[in-house]
């Protein structure tokens, strides 16, 4: 599996749709328990407007 050999990964999501976000969470749930351990992870979120970006910032840990 290429993912297991990677030093890092980029995880992208849309701030607009709960359905897409749930699908992404389900896909991440398929990874082995410590698949991201020791890896660099870059989370990216896109939004359709400033309101979507602000919603993402409020939902972020520490936000």
DSSP character at residue 63: -
Greater pLDDT, 40 or 58: 40
Share of the chain above pLDDT 90, in %: 2
Q: What 3-state class would DSSP assign to 60?
A: coil
The whole-number pLDDT of residue 22 equals 72
State the pTM of this model. Answer: 0.53
Give the model's confidence band at 52: pLDDT under 50 very low, under 70 low, under 90 confident, else very high.
Answer: low
Residue 54 backbone dihedrals phi, psi, to 5 degrees:
-65, -35
- Rounded Cα distance between 59 and 57, Å, is 5
- Rounded Cα distance between 55 and 4, Å, is 32
* 19, 13 Cβ separation under 8 angstroms: no
């Amino acid at each position: 599996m290429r993912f297991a050999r990677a030093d890092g990964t980029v995880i992208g999501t849309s701030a607009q749709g709960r359905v897409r976000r749930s699908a992404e969470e389900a896909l991440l749930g398929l990874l082995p328990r410590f698949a991201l351990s020791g890896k660099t992870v870059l989370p990216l979120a896109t939004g359709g407007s400033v309101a979507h970006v602000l919603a993402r910032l409020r939902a972020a840990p520490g936000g």
